[in-house]
Structure 1
Amino acid sequence: MDYITALLMGLIEGLAEFLPISSTGHLILTGELLDFTGEAAKTFEIFIQLGAIMAAAVLYRKRIFALFGIRGANTPKYNINLLHVFLGILPAMILGLLLHGFIKDVLFSPTTVLIGLVAGGVLMIAAERFQGEIKAKTIDDITYRQALTIGLFQCLALWPGFSRSGSTMSGGLLYGVHRKAAADFSFFIAIPMMVGATGLDLFKSWGHLSSSDFGYFAVGFVASFVVAMVAMVSFLKLLERVKLTPFAIYRFVLAGLFWLFVL
């Protein structure tokens, strides 16, 4: 590993984490192209996701404080509470704990990523085509049932290539949540979800790392944080006028090109 690789992977993670194109899938495919593989590489890929998640924590800091009753003078009233968050993360949290070893050992491969990219793209197009009547136009309109439904769809993102935001936005659309509201909720519940997943992975993979890796991890983390902050704000604005279909088409093209010219 070198600092150029660490920087490039951090930039890709920050850009892709909150777009419905699968950041994990992009990191695995990039790692294959750069011959950056192995246990330390897998841990690095998961660790730099924490940089992107910290960017989400900064963006949603007022909501996070409000969940615990900490409100400033200018804090608006939010309807999303801890039960919404719990319902949104519980299904994927349980399944992720049960299948953690299988996911990391078996599903972290280019072939499975390509399958996830295509399947996730099909889901996104189907969600746009068969979306339910929009009843939740903002994140604060989301009901407990919709939060649980989005949480169930988030389980699909445990398969690399599916994309957490793509899966959750698709689930939201099918059950009456506007794509921007679903994206907001997806970003929000990603904070505890990814902090827990990253912590678990680092605990289990600490033996694969050495002190010489810390500099690379820091570069990837910072790059991911900065780019994710810009990408999140831009993407939420973009969702006001752009549907999921263009992102699905990008996924199909990427999967096809990688299959033809690399695999």
Structure 2
Amino acid sequence: MWEIFVAIVLGLVEGLTEFAPVSSTGHMIIVDDLLFKSNEIFGDEVANAFKVVIQLGSILAVVIIFWGRFMDLLGVRKIRTESGDPAQKLNLLQIIVGLLPAGVLGVLFEDYIDEYLFSTNTVAVGLLLGAFLMLAADKFQPKVLKAESVDQITYKQALGVGLIQCLALWPGFSRSGSTISGGVLLGMSHRSASDFTFIMAVPIMAGASLIKVVKYWDYFSLDVLPFFIAGFISAFIFSLVFIRFFLKLINKIKLKPFAYYRIGLALLLFLLAL
């Protein structure tokens, strides 16, 4: 039962932080690596496989929330834009443009990042730097927005967000924190930048997760299946609830509250590392 409880709590942490601009990596270090230590319960390989499983739960939540949008992007069915203009609409090529920079760098430097950058101190540094970027985004957002909705995003904005997303390769920087901030600085509303971020996250996260599933396939055994299932369901449910809540509020609360939270979390990580 203890293992199931650990799985549910870690799924909750994943669900609440994977798509929030606060860094799921930083929270996993505090909750799992420093408190539960699932790697000591099951071994490093099973613990790593579990983190892939709960990430898949979060990805599924995004797919369900944006199901109509994904069907439209794939040409399965057509939806009208938020502005009501069927001629101006987010398309698949814009998603690809946004994905390419971080995708290429991620493939080239994955082993280096995993070996040298996943430590408490590097994550704390990423949290601080990401917080400063978020504060800058709120402060210097253009007064005249070029993209009030995700359907008004240009290719130039998509590429700019993709380039800024490269910062998220540094653990703790946060994929959503960097991309939403980048979008806001490039003239998107907080909501349109968030929508673009979540839609763009699905293929890159799914691809990375599938690669890791293959890598850890031998550790998906029947004896740990209940642990994996509990974590997957927990991550899925909490992601579903949080993302809907976040998208309703982001234009009102903006990024500043998350930035201050990140600064506090970074200080906590530095203290824990002493």
Measured against the shorter chain, the TM-score band is over 0.9
* 1:83-102 matches, cutoff 5 A: 83-102=93-112
Give the aligned partner of residue 57 of structure 2.
51
Distance 2:77 2:268 in 1: 49
Does the aligned pair in 1 maintain the 2:148–2:192 contact within 8 Å? yes
Q: Which residue of 123, 142, 149 maps to 2:160?
A: 149
Q: Is residue 35 of structure 1 aligned with residue 37 of structure 2?
A: yes
1:51 deviation in Å? 0.6
1:96 deviation in Å? 1.1
1:46 deviation in Å? 3.0
* 1:192-211 matches, cutoff 5 A: 192-211=203-222
Give the aligned partner of residue 252 of structure 1.
263
Supply the AA of the counterpart residue of 1:35: K
The superposition leaves residues 53-86 of structure 1 with CA deviations (integer Å, 9 ceiling, x where unpaired) of: 11000111111111122226xx324611110110
1:127 deviation in Å? 1.5
Give the aligned partner of residue 106 of structure 1.
116
Q: Gapped runs of 5+ residues in structure 2?
A: none
1:3 deviation in Å? 1.2
What is the identity percentage for the equivalent residue pairs of Structure 1 and Structure 2?
45
SS at match of 1:134: coil
Give the aligned partner of residue 71 of structure 1.
77
1:41 deviation in Å? 2.2
Give the aligned partner of residue 132 of structure 2.
122
Does the aligned pair in 2 maintain the 1:121–1:251 contact within 8 Å? yes
1:28 deviation in Å? 2.4
The superposition leaves residues 171-213 of structure 1 with CA deviations (integer Å, 9 ceiling, x where unpaired) of: 1111111111000000001111111010011212334554322
Give the aligned partner of residue 2 of structure 1.
3
Give the aligned partner of residue 175 of structure 1.
186
User: CA 1:111–1:213 in structure 2 vs 1: closer, same or farther (change >3 Å)?
Assistant: farther
Q: Which stretches of structure 1, 4 residues or more, deviate above 4 A after TM superposition?
A: none
Normalised to the residue count of structure 2, the TM-score between the two structures is 0.89
Distance 1:167 1:129 in 2: 15
Distance 2:240 2:27 in 1: 18
Supply the AA of the counterpart residue of 1:96: G
User: CA 1:28–1:42 in structure 2 vs 1: closer, same or farther (change >3 Å)?
Assistant: farther
1:214 deviation in Å? 2.3
1:105 deviation in Å? 2.4
Pairwise CA RMSD: 1.7
Give the aligned partner of residue 188 of structure 1.
199
SS at match of 1:89: helix
Distance 2:204 2:103 in 1: 7
Distance 1:210 1:107 in 2: 29
Supply the AA of the counterpart residue of 2:38: F
Does the aligned pair in 2 maintain the 1:24–1:45 contact within 8 Å? no
Distance 2:186 2:59 in 1: 26
Q: Gapped runs of 5+ residues in structure 1?
A: none
SS at match of 1:239: helix
Does the aligned pair in 2 maintain the 1:28–1:108 contact within 8 Å? no
Distance 2:225 2:117 in 1: 26
Give the aligned partner of residue 139 of structure 1.
150
Give the aligned partner of residue 61 of structure 1.
67
Supply the AA of the counterpart residue of 2:80: P
The superposition leaves residues 14-49 of structure 1 with CA deviations (integer Å, 9 ceiling, x where unpaired) of: 011121101122112212222234333233223311
Which is worse superposed, 186-195 or 98-107? 98-107
Which is worse superposed, 253-262 or 11-20? 253-262
Supply the AA of the counterpart residue of 2:26: G
